[in-house]
Amino acid sequence: MSIQWFPGHMHLTRKAIGERVKTIDVVIEMVDARLPASSANPMLRELLQHKPNLKVLNKADLADPERTQQWLQWYGQQQQTRAVAMDSHHSAPARALIEACQALAPGRGSMDKPMRVLICGIPNVGKSTLINTMVGKRAAKAANEPGVTRREQRFALQDGFYLFDTPGVLWPRIIVAQSGYNLAAAGSIGRNAFDDELVALELLAYLQRHYAALLLARYAVAPSADALAQLPDHALLEAIGRQRGALLPGGRVNAQKTAEIILQDFRSGAIGRVTIETPAEFQAWQATGERL
Ligand code: GDP
């Protein structure tokens, strides 16, 4: 079973980005450092038309630092691409972005040749947070609610340096089955597109293989990390539910509630700094996995 997700209005966003990109010098694509490939939208590559590209692995504070280095190296091999990892709440790395843009588009950034930077990324990846950090006031999210004027799309950062927010909503596009699970685990696709329990079981199985010690530290449901890694995923979910008191009347474990706890713990970083895909794994999924 895989996650099916067909959001509407993609063609409008495609058109809007295609138009906007014509006058853009550098495109910043923000991805989630815990799932960099799955949180990218492959449509962007085709729309960017050789524009210099800066990948921002955001939420790096929640990701596994060693794996973040692997991803940075991997992106570094692509042409006209630079990659940085950051926590967009902090302004120091945000300033590093300005320098990276200047390196990608030398000669731009003056009054007569302004630098125009487009920030793209799927919902919730941290675009508004980054813009707020860079622009230095609560600029971006102001108008994301119904009835409020359309949110501002262009921000002057300094003289001759402009940031543009994604025009429209760039939904994720799932091309391999595992990406669906990873996006769901991160909370990046609508809740009614997936089953919490199934997604939590997939996540647990992955974390058992790669982060058993962190699971043990969070949930202490086995005598050792090795023993925890050996548990069947259903048994692990049940043990976590019991330990956290997620029980139904009569004492059975409430699997739905337990799944919500596990997903929430992953999203908030309570399980620790984990990254749920590597460049090699993603390439393998593309080569051999179920394609959607
Ligand atoms: P947007 O939909 O892409 O504009 O995303 P937002 O900027 O609204 O961010 C979505 C959520 O992620 C918010 O709760 C932010 O506080 C959080 N967030 C954004 N950037 C980071 C980051 O670098 N690290 C962490 N831990 N959380 C972040």
Local confidence pLDDT in tens for the 292 residues of the chain = 667 666 667 778 888 888 888 999 999 999 999 999 999 988 888 888 689 999 999 999 999 999 999 999 999 998 888 999 999 888 777 778 888 999 999 999 888 999 999 999 999 999 999 988 888 765 555 444 444 444 568 888 888 899 999 888 888 888 888 999 999 999 998 878 789 999 999 999 999 999 999 999 999 999 999 999 999 999 999 999 999 999 999 999 999 999 999 999 999 999 999 999 999 999 999 888 666 6
Helix (H), strand (E) counts: the chain: 12, 6
Distance from residue 127's CA to the centre of ligand 1 (Å): 7
DSSP state of 223: S
Residues 117 and 30 sit within 8 Å (Cβ to Cβ): no
Q: How many angstroms is it from 131 CA to the middle of ligand 1?
A: 11
Q: Is 233 exposed, middle or buried (0-12, 13-18, 19+ CB in 10 A)?
A: middle
Ligand 1 centre distance from Cα of residue 249 (Å) = 37
Pocket test residue of 129, 166, 171 for ligand 1, highest count of atoms within 8 A of CB:
129
Q: For residue 89, what pLDDT is reported?
A: 87
What's residue 6's pLDDT? 64
Nearest CA to ligand 1 atom 18: 126
172 lines ligand 1 (CB under 6 A): no
| The pLDDT value given to residue 217 | 98
Q: Does residue 61's CB lie within 6 angstroms of at least one atom of ligand 1?
A: yes
Residue 218: other Cβ atoms inside 10 A: 18
Distance CA 237, CA 200 (A): 8
Instruction: Give nearest CA residue, ligand 1 atom 16.
Output: 129
* Atom number, ligand 1, closest to the C-alpha of residue 269: 26
pLDDT number for residue 145: 45
Among protein residues, the one whose CA lies closest to atom 27 of ligand 1? 59
What count of other Cβ atoms lies within 10 Å of the Cβ of residue 198? 14
Contact 199, 181 (CB under 8 A): yes
- Please report the pLDDT score of residue 7 as a whole number: 67
The pLDDT of residue 289 is 67
Sign of the C-alpha dihedral, residues 279, 285, 286, 292?
Answer: negative
pTM of the model as a whole: 0.91
**Residue 4 CB burial class (10 angstroms; 0-12, 13-18, ≥19):** exposed
Protein residue whose Cα sits closest to atom 12 of ligand 1: 126
CB 32 within 8 A of CB 39: yes
- The answer to whether the CB of 126 is under 6 A from ligand 1 is yes
Q: Is any atom of ligand 1 closer than 6 Å to the C-beta of 39?
A: no
With a 6 Å cutoff on the Cβ, whether 51 touches ligand 1 is no
Ligand 1 neighbourhood includes 128 CB (under 6 angstroms): yes
Q: Which two tokens stand for residue 64?
A: 């596994």
